[in-house]
Amino acid sequence: MPISRGVNFTSREKAVKPTRIFILTLMAMIAFAGNSLLCRLALKQTRIDAASFTFIRIFSGATALWLIMKMRNAPWKKAGNWPSGAALFAYAAAFSFAYNSLSAGTGALLLFGAVQATMILWGLRKGERLHAIQIIGLVVALSGLVVFLFPGLSAPPLSGSILMLGAGVAWGVYSLRGKAEKNPAGATTGNFLRAVPLAAIVSVLLLPWVRLDRAGIGYAVISGAIASGLGYVIWYTALSGLKATSAATVQLSVPVLAATGGILLLGEPITFRYLVASIAVLGGITLVVIEKNSAS
């Protein structure tokens, strides 16, 4: 499988080459964009409820990663931890429930705004500093995201907004905790396995409102096993070579990549707004990351 060749499933290299970090980061962002598309399709176009989608997604990710670790005879039993597992569950659950009441554009802006704030503030607290060109890049990327999502924005309901902001904070925490992991695949497997019982509890509590269909289950399985499970392993591996501020900024590319996927896979039209926003977001990210590398 091409993904497995690009990821070290046992340990990180002591010195990670910038080219490898770029490739891994790009693969992770593509996985995140695919996950966004799958979640949106499932929660907006099928009958599956948010709790069931979350449980199937996390369970599928845990199962796929556990099978890979068993086949490779790789260490994982002592990897991962409950705080990271709880953060993973909190992100997945809050994300799913938030999209019951939020539009795609509003949800994406709230989510990535919270991720940015969480990770950049943590980086600044730990002594990371943004140079002038990085600040310009961050502003340009954020502006591009707003331009890209603006036509789809609407006054969001309070409950959905709180849930999506919580999802962003939880994902920021999960990403920050991954920077110190020396065994990305083992840690991701352990975190997914710990998240399974938490998702199961929510599903049991909301059992009277359960709704399932084949399409929704299929989207949840693909989202969990591939876009989430393997995608998060790749992300944890890439995090070793990224500062918190850079790791936060590159995730602004996800809505643009998701839109690109819609154009390539779903035949959606290419618009002038999409082109302008894409150039702004990707150009801004480039300024942040390149300046980081030149200063390090």
pLDDT per residue as tens, the chain (296 positions): 334 444 544 444 444 477 888 899 999 999 988 888 888 889 888 999 999 999 999 999 999 999 988 888 877 777 889 999 999 999 999 999 988 887 766 777 788 888 888 888 888 887 877 778 878 888 888 888 787 767 666 666 888 889 999 999 999 999 999 887 888 888 999 999 999 999 999 999 999 999 999 999 999 999 999 999 999 999 999 888 888 888 888 888 888 888 787 777 767 677 787 788 888 888 888 877 775 554 44
Q: What pLDDT score does 222 carry?
A: 95
Structure tokens that stand for 62 in this block: 């845990």
User: Any residues with CB less than 8 A from the CB of 116 and at least 6 apart, and which?
Assistant: 142, 248, 249, 251, 252
pLDDT of residue 291: 58
- Which one, of 226, 229, 228, 233, lies nearest residue 184 by Cα? 233
Model-level pTM? 0.82
Report pLDDT for 153: 60
DSSP state for residue 54 in the 8-state scheme: H
CB 69 within 8 A of CB 76: yes
Q: What confidence score (pLDDT) does residue 5 get?
A: 43
* Orientation of helix 50-72 relative to helix 184-205, angle to 10°: 150
How many angstroms from the chain centroid is the CA of residue 119? 13
- Number of domains observed in the structure of the chain: 1
225: which 2 tokens? Answer: 């096993």
pLDDT at 289: 73
- pLDDT score, position 33: 87
By residue range, what is the domain housing residue 72?
2-295
